[in-house]
Amino acid sequence: MRNVALWALVVVNALLAVAWVMRSTAPNAAMAQAARPGDYVMIPGQVIGGGGSSVVYLVDTTNGTLSAVSYDGRENLAVMPPIDLTRLFEGNAR
pLDDT digit string, tens, across residues 35-82: 566 688 999 988 777 666 788 999 998 888 999 998 777 778 888 999
One-letter amino acid of 49: G
Contact 38, 63 (CB under 8 A): yes
Residue 33 pLDDT: 56
DSSP state of 56: E
Q: Assign residue 52 a region: left if phi > 0, alpha if psi is -120 to 50, beta otherwise?
A: left
DSSP state of 80: P
In the predicted model, is pLDDT for residue 32 greater than 80?
A: no
**Torsion sign (Cα): 22, 35, 61, 56:** negative
9-25 pLDDT, tens digit each: 999 999 999 999 988 88
User: For residue 20, which phi and psi values (nearest 5 degrees)?
Assistant: -65, -40
Residue 11 pLDDT: 94
